[in-house]
Amino acid sequence: MKRSQNEIKRPEVTQRIIELLDKQNEKGLKKYGTTIDQVSDMAYDWKLMALEEAIDLIQYQQKEIMRLERLLTPI
Calculate ∠ Cα 47-51-54, nearest 5°.
Answer: 140
Domain layout of the chain by residue ranges: 1-39, 44-75
6 — pLDDT class (breaks 50, 70, 90)? confident
CA-CA-CA-CA dihedral for 33, 39, 44, 49, to nearest 10: 70
With beta carbons less than 8 A apart as the criterion, state whether 35 and 28 touch. yes
Instruction: From residue 27, give the alpha-carbon distance in Å to each of 22, 34, 47, 60.
Output: 9, 10, 21, 20
Its pTM stands at 0.68
pLDDT tens sequence across 13-72:
999 999 999 999 999 999 999 999 999 999 999 999 999 999 999 999 999 999 999 999
